[in-house]
Structure 1
Amino acid sequence: MDTNELIKALAADSQKLMPLSRAWWSAAGLAVVLSAAIVFATLTPRPDIAIAAETPRFLFKIIFAVTLAASAFGVVRALSRPGAEWRMAMPYLAAAPALLATAVIVELLLQPDAWAVGMMGANGPACLFALLLVGLGPLAVILAALRHGAPASPAIAGAVAGLLAGGIAAIFYAAHCPDDSPLFVALWYTLAIAALTILGATVAHRLIRW
């Protein structure tokens, strides 16, 4: 069997239990519901949520998280298909970091003397831990969907699954987090999402083999 025939066979096998597209949309929906349920069952919305929702900083957190989740969802779906070239998909993941970098630069220009306070926030380590925990459930769901496919690079696909889980978790966690500075997001949110990314890559590398 040559390479093309092997790829076709893998693609056919991945469709037997559930069409890949349906598996991904089902997983995305479940991950969103699960993340929201975890946040609102274990955490309380910040007291000033109504006021904060009208501020640029708070809205930026949501936009950043949605951008990360949307781009990662598109990339991980592409990577789950046999023969997908991960290097061609990676540029789409630059959108969220570019937004964050721009926001950090603007923050430093507007408040050059308050960068340390903005970066550390009220309780950075607690934010990191909570965001990581919120993302674990969605990550498990996304990795399960990834097994319906046949990614050529399971570790790369798993890493992007971690980005997706982190983005989804950050959307809902933002309603609880009282720290809105882009500098805070750049440090603590990024650390939590990076941990989910590493975990996703590690688990996918071990569990997804063909």
Structure 2
Amino acid sequence: MSSEIRPDDLLIERLAGSLRPVRRRRPWLEMAVLGALFGVELALLLGAGHMRIDMPHAMGMPSFWWKLAGLTAIIAISSTTALLSLDPTRSPRLGLRVIVLTVLAVLVAGWGVDAAQTAWLTGGETLWRRLAPQSGLRCTRTIVELAVPVAIALGVLMRRGASVDLAGSAWAAGISASGWGALAFAFACPFDDPLYLAVWYGVAFGIVTIGSRLLLPLILRW
């Protein structure tokens, strides 16, 4: 038998030598990190005096609790999907489908809450007043600003993981970051109108999610 070393053997040896051990991941701890970051953002926001002044009244409104419950559900599913997808044996695709269904369910529930509180559309002037574009743009900007640190944290966690579907993980991470940012801002936002929230929070979600989808895979490949 020949003991000659083949080129393939040298290549395999070189590749094996360049491998680094993968740190053991603890998804529950990673989720706790995201929760702690949310807590810091919320504390800073409220500490700066931005809590809505009508909070006692808001807590009696079904639309306020719809907002909090909907955002919490989206956060729970998207964050779990993003973190679990960092395991090379897990795919984020099922989680992304569940996220879409959850968002649709939240919107349908919001339509029901809205119908119970006011007419959905009673004229162009009323629609424009409900959308309040000037306030809406400020809300969108603030949510994006609050979501960026969470997106960065998720990017760091993704670098330590081993996702086999970077695009799917990035989508889930973007939705998760948007949700955390929106939930923090929900305690300062004076608007609970489901139409207003669907439009302006939706714009913020879109900006952060698309930005994460475009940038996170590039950073992870770097």
Which range, TM-score by smaller chain?
Answer: 0.7 to 0.9
Deviation at 1:198, TM superposition (A): 1.3
Contact 1:121 1:184 in 2 (8 A): no
Which of residues 36, 46, 49 in structure 2 aligns to 1:40? Answer: 46
Structure 1 distance, partners of 2:71, 2:187, is 12
AA aligned to 1:136 is: V
1:55 aligned to 2:61? yes
Counterpart residue type for residue 153 of structure 2 = V
Q: Which amino acid aligns with 1:47?
A: I
**Distance apart, 1:23 and its partner CA:** 4.8
1:31 deviates by 2.6
Larger RCO (CA under 8 A, 6+ residues apart): 1
Corresponding residue number in structure 1 for 2:89: 83
2:108 pairs with 1:101: yes
Q: Is the 8 A contact 1:68 1:96 kept in 2?
A: yes
Q: Displacement, 1:121?
A: 6.2
Shift of 1:177: 0.8
Output aligned runs, 1:4-153, within 5 Å. 13-14=21-22, 16=23, 18-42=24-48, 44-93=50-99, 94-104=101-111, 107=114, 110-111=118-119, 112-113=121-122, 114-120=126-132, 123-153=135-165
2:86/2:158 contact within 8 Å kept:
yes
Runs of 4+ in structure 1 deviating by more than 6 angstroms, as ranges, are none
Post-superposition Cα deviations, 1:85-136, rounded to whole Å, max 9, x if no partner, equal: 3322222202133212331365257413144422336611111111111111
Aligned residues between the structures: 197
**Aligned counterpart for 2:173 among listed residues 161, 165, 170:** 161
Mapping of residues 157-196 of structure 1, within 5 Å: 157-196=169-208
Uncovered stretches (5+) of structure 1, i.e. residues with no partner: 1-11
Moved more, 156-165 or 36-45: 36-45
**SS at structure 2 position matched to 1:123:** helix
Tell me the amino acid that sits aligned with residue 131 of structure 1: I
Amino acid at match of 1:197: T
Partners of 1:204 and 1:165 in 2: how far apart?
A: 12
Q: TM (normalized to structure 1)?
A: 0.83
Deviation of residue 78 (structure 1)? 2.2
Distance 1:120 1:67 in 2: 26
Taking structure 2 as the reference length, what is the TM-score of the superposition? 0.79
Of 199-208 and 185-194, the range deviating more from structure 2: 199-208
Rounded Cα–Cα distance in structure 2 between residues aligned with 1:155 and 1:40: 35
Match of 2:212 in 1: 200
Q: SS where residue 160 of structure 2 aligns?
A: coil
- 1:155–1:200 CA contact under 8 A, matched in 2: no
**CA distance 1:91–1:52, shift in 2 (3 Å):** same
User: Displacement, 1:150?
Assistant: 0.9
Report the alpha carbon displacement of residue 52 of structure 1 after superposing the two structures with TM: 0.6
Calculate percent identity across the aligned residue pairs.
20
Unaligned runs of 5+ in 2: 1-19
Mark the CA change 1:86 to 1:172 in structure 2 (over 3 Å): closer, same or farther: closer
Q: SS where residue 164 of structure 2 aligns?
A: coil
Distance 1:100 1:65, change over 3 A: same
